[in-house]
Structure 1
Amino acid sequence: MLSTTIGDAELRALEPWQAADLAAFTERHRAHLRPWLPWAVSIVDEDTANGFLQRYADATARDGGRIYALWRDDEMVGGALFRVFEPQTRTCEIGVWLAPDATGRGLVGRTVEAMIAWAVDVRGMRRIEWQCVPENEPSRAVARRLGFTHEGTLREAFEHEGRLWDVEVWALLAAERGLQA
């Protein structure tokens, strides 16, 4: 299991028993998260947070997707997930989010680096994907900074908030990890 210190925060598994924490975090930061994260719309209380976290707990039990929170002094300040985690194909997809007051401290970059290291070095993943909408420039910047290659754009790939969104697909291969500047 991945659990590590990231700067002044700790990355650790986010489990169904922590649904109240996720519901409260989402409520506090909904306006910041909502444009980019569909779950920021659908998590409206502890029950919906529990359902969301239970789906990840079930996936983790099947060696699939998994979800984590970033904690600073017992307060959730963000999170990360392997939205996709497929040991058979050795492919995974990473996603992250932060509270607005936690940005600008390098937490996202160091969290993603830790997740990549765990996925490649511990679990043998060969391909790490990053997906974001073209309008999410901070997300695109993280992908570029960490050496991901933009492989293409899926046009009108998903509907969110009544709009069809394009999705950029970025990828980093295990063999490329040493190439980042």
Structure 2
Amino acid sequence: MFTFKICEEIELKILELQDAEKLFTLINNNHDYLSKWLPWVNESTKVEVTQEFIQFELSRFAKNNGFSSGIIFNNELVGCIGVHDINWRNRKTSIGYWLGEKYQGSGVMTRACKGLLRYLIQDLGINRVEIRACSENYKSRAIPERLGFIHEGTIRQAEWIDGRFYDHVVYGILAEDIGV
């Protein structure tokens, strides 16, 4: 299955059904941390839900319409990064990501996003990549800011999490912004 080496320590690997148990355990072990910003975490109550997610993502990958990959750091699954639906006509997509709490602050996600961005623009010919993050999720917002994405606006009350609405900050980058 598809793997993409980012650097000596990090690679991205398309999730397969055999990864379901590890992925479920990672999500479960980080439930409180992840559920603050990712409402789907509360629905991930058993490994079968994780298997269904992986099967959906494999189907999307087979249709050439995006994918989810595990972030492998020093041979350990530490999080996920995904390419949402790809609009091939307009050559644009968006990415989303999450990382287990103990791996925060180590530069893993910044390097994973940078590598994936390079792949999307240089190898797939994508022109525009977008990242959205809850306005109060400063760690998630730091990634596109660090990578030179442009803050394009805020979508008010875009997501309902734990009994309240949160705004989404929208970041975008174009191939020309990074010299491609």
Q: How does 1:29-178 map to 2 (within 5 A)?
A: 29-178=30-179
Identify unmatched segments of 5+ residues in structure 2. none
Measured against aligned partners, the alpha-carbon deviations of 1:106-157 in whole angstroms (never above 9, x if no partner) come to 1111111111111011100000000000100011111111011111111111
Percent of aligned positions with the same letter in both sequences? 28
- Distance in 2, matches of 1:12 and 1:97, equals 15
TM-score of the two chains, using structure 1 as the length reference: 0.91
Q: How many residues align?
A: 179
Aligned residue type for 2:141? R
Secondary structure, aligned partner of 1:101: helix
Q: Considering only aligned residues, what root-mean-square deviation do their CA atoms show, in Å? A: 1.7
**Cα distance 1:5–1:144, how it changes in 2: closer, same or farther (>3 A)?**
closer
Identify unmatched segments of 5+ residues in structure 1. none
- Distance in 2, matches of 1:161 and 1:52, equals 22
- Distance in 2, matches of 1:95 and 1:72, equals 18
Superposed displacement of residue 74, structure 1: 4.1
Secondary structure, aligned partner of 1:138: helix
Superposed displacement of residue 84, structure 1: 3.0
- Distance in 1, matches of 2:86 and 2:35, equals 24
TM-score of the two chains, using structure 2 as the length reference: 0.92
- Distance in 1, matches of 2:139 and 2:147, equals 12
Aligned residue type for 1:177? I
Aligned residue type for 2:159? F
